[in-house]
Structure 1
């Protein structure tokens, strides 16, 4: 460990290109190197993903436990050895890694263990059993960090306690600078008209994101969307491939298969957003989605269902449009209003970009976590053992 530095280890399930993984990556990459030594641990093997490239570029330590699919008892001794080798002062967990990390921490004994709640509390961990396990971890000292007011509310409902802190997510907004030449080049590369109105949804292909609602609303537009194309960016959920297949089938049944592109998981999301015109997200529930922040930073007007922490990101009719969840007609109407009105797209998109740069920049999130880490370590230092 660097002399006097606080060593922090973020732990994620895998280097997938989801919002929670990117948030942990950004945090690990941007902690102040004058005060912190930053590492990130993936339970699953390396993937040579854009996340790993980003971490390497910023000097963060990258580690893997090489856990196999399903329950893997061998991951416990590997993780314990790694934590004892790294000797982190702080272990910071994300998503569903607690079942492996918290038992390992009993032996590795970091000073502080924190967990970021990346979704509404009842939606973060699907299994009731593992939610009870997570609740046990909170009772025995794991510090929960919420990412939105609505997440805090659902956390209190689910676990009967307050979160230790509320720290909204952030992104490096400079990655989403407008580039007209790159916009045209990307469209030509993908063989898309430079005149088409491109709608883009960046969301993993899993039921939470409610792609069927989006497809049905888009189909409602008919000839009103003749010059539009819908891009679905997101990898299928390997545990639910039927869902992704059902979306392809639904697009065929709705007669829109020629106006929808399934792009899969992509490492060039900033370039896609730069080339698009409208962002749309029709989720059943959300936490504090990075995809919405990224779209706004790229100057796209977002059209989103008003769920979870999304209304905390978008000011309706100022920086984007919010619609009730499950309201197909309202979603179709909002999309039509932006497809038909380029000036409205520009107005909302410019306001979204300015709001993102002043409210969502990565520095705001990282500084809040740094204060949280330091404050909690200070409290522990003053507490008699």
Structure 2
């Protein structure tokens, strides 16, 4: 199979568009279980959107349901199919996938690092003659499991041509504890659109439904409503902080299966009217700058390099984060944010009170956070590094 014509990407370039007459034409099949709203999934959509302007062509196949991001993916003009697996052990799913894609040509298979997708990817790569295969791992642990990968999954991951990780500390852990092959691992740091997520003066901010009022001592958390995100810790910390700063208000942004349990816990802690569930929001660039503090209360499982914390830092917010995953690759303690032990609601409450009472400290941390995002964690840099990574496959070399 003839690969696409490579495009040179000199070191140091960022956000570069392919010059006329030098179009990068690369066809990438993305194979996942589903495309639900999440930090990494939203980042991947941004990467596909940006690289699509340079001639990269993506085709998404969801083995199960397409997920909540399906409509947004379609609006970007990216083909998406779903429903290939009809049960837990549906071995015919890979065959349905191959039949659906028969006659299409792909230069690269980008496969989710789960058992279903890895197995289906093996079959699809052979039947469709896709020469290069890769994956990306954005988590550190899985909820309810001692290890992230089973032995068979590790074997499949080691057979890929490349595996992308999102932080250096994640790489060290997955080699040491999961047995991944360091030779096929590369790190591309997550990034956020620092031009969209930015500090805003009060007069720039529009009125928002279900949002903090101007000048409110508001603390928020942006996360899926799932057990590993630790909303119970956030709520207990909120209750303790309100005893010290009763005018504070708390906002929970996101949706998920734990919503009813969180609503019940708000009631049992006597937090009704002082903690608000806003649901999923599409106006985060306008919502976040209204907060005084952004929190991350995750348990030490899935979290690695959290996009929500990056977005808050890009908006110039002080952040309070549990010390989990690779958060230390992002947050410098006492310099760009505060870290507390996971599960420690008392420590989180003390951090909340400290930042609500010391506006100068909150401002200093927020300004340093913004600078750190600009220096290391921009979407432009992430997209450029993904471009280079993909094109090394196109050139016939393994990253």
Shorter-normalised TM range? 0.7 to 0.9
- Residue in structure 2 matched with residue 215 of structure 1 by the alignment: 235
Task: Give the structure with the larger helix fraction.
Answer: 1
- Residue in structure 2 matched with residue 152 of structure 1 by the alignment: 171
Q: Contact conserved, 1:323 with 1:330, CA < 8 A, in 2?
A: yes
1:62 paired with 2:105, answer no
- Counterparts of 2:40 and 2:211, CA distance in 1: 31
- Counterparts of 2:74 and 2:319, CA distance in 1: 29
- Counterparts of 1:134 and 1:76, CA distance in 2: 17
- Counterparts of 2:231 and 2:50, CA distance in 1: 33
Structure 1's 37 and 345: CA in aligned 2 closer, same or farther, altered over 3 A? same
Q: Contact conserved, 1:65 with 1:79, CA < 8 A, in 2?
A: no
- Counterparts of 1:218 and 1:183, CA distance in 2: 25
Cα displacement string for residues 157-210 of structure 1 (whole angstroms, at most 9, x for unaligned residues) = 212421521111112222213443453511xx2274333212111111112111
- Residue in structure 2 matched with residue 282 of structure 1 by the alignment: 297
291-300 or 138-147, which moves further after superposition? 138-147
Cα displacement string for residues 16-57 of structure 1 (whole angstroms, at most 9, x for unaligned residues) = 2101211221221122744633344434455674x7537744
Q: Contact conserved, 1:7 with 1:87, CA < 8 A, in 2?
A: yes
Q: For 2:375, what is the secondary structure of its paired residue? A: helix
Among residues 172, 177, 181, which one is paired with 2:198 in the alignment? 177
Matches within 5 A, 1:221-236: 221-236=241-256
Alpha-carbon distance, 1:297 to partner: 1.0
Cα displacement string for residues 294-342 of structure 1 (whole angstroms, at most 9, x for unaligned residues) = 1111111111011111111011122111112222222111111111122
Structural RMSD (CA): 2.9
1:198 paired with 2:218, answer yes
Among residues 63, 68, 79, which one is paired with 2:97 in the alignment? 79
Structure 1's 321 and 19: CA in aligned 2 closer, same or farther, altered over 3 A? same
Cα displacement string for residues 60-95 of structure 1 (whole angstroms, at most 9, x for unaligned residues) = x23122347753556433422344444221111235
- Counterparts of 1:98 and 1:153, CA distance in 2: 22
Among residues 330, 335, 338, which one is paired with 2:355 in the alignment? 338
The alignment's TM-score, normalised by the length of structure 1, stands at 0.85
177-186 or 322-331, which moves further after superposition? 177-186
1:118 paired with 2:118, answer no
- Counterparts of 2:34 and 2:101, CA distance in 1: 17
Q: Contact conserved, 2:199 with 2:314, CA < 8 A, in 1?
A: no
Q: Contact conserved, 1:25 with 1:55, CA < 8 A, in 2?
A: no
Q: Contact conserved, 2:26 with 2:56, CA < 8 A, in 1?
A: yes
Structure 1's 232 and 25: CA in aligned 2 closer, same or farther, altered over 3 A? same
Q: Contact conserved, 2:143 with 2:228, CA < 8 A, in 1?
A: no
Q: For 2:142, what is the secondary structure of its paired residue? A: helix
The alignment's TM-score, normalised by the length of structure 2, stands at 0.82
- Residue in structure 2 matched with residue 347 of structure 1 by the alignment: 364
- Counterparts of 1:191 and 1:155, CA distance in 2: 39
- Counterparts of 1:8 and 1:106, CA distance in 2: 15
- Residue in structure 2 matched with residue 305 of structure 1 by the alignment: 322
Structure 1's 208 and 46: CA in aligned 2 closer, same or farther, altered over 3 A? closer
- Counterparts of 2:342 and 2:220, CA distance in 1: 18
Structure 1's 347 and 80: CA in aligned 2 closer, same or farther, altered over 3 A? same
Where in structure 2 are there 5+ consecutive unaligned residues?
Answer: 6-24
Q: Contact conserved, 1:15 with 1:46, CA < 8 A, in 2?
A: yes
Q: For 1:221, what is the secondary structure of its paired residue? A: helix
- Counterparts of 1:30 and 1:105, CA distance in 2: 25
Where in structure 1 are there 5+ consecutive unaligned residues?
Answer: none
- Counterparts of 2:146 and 2:105, CA distance in 1: 31
1:8 paired with 2:25, answer no
Q: Contact conserved, 2:211 with 2:287, CA < 8 A, in 1?
A: no
Q: Contact conserved, 2:255 with 2:279, CA < 8 A, in 1?
A: yes
- Residue in structure 2 matched with residue 166 of structure 1 by the alignment: 187
Among residues 142, 155, 167, which one is paired with 1:136 in the alignment? 155
1:267 paired with 2:286, answer no
Structure 1's 324 and 16: CA in aligned 2 closer, same or farther, altered over 3 A? same
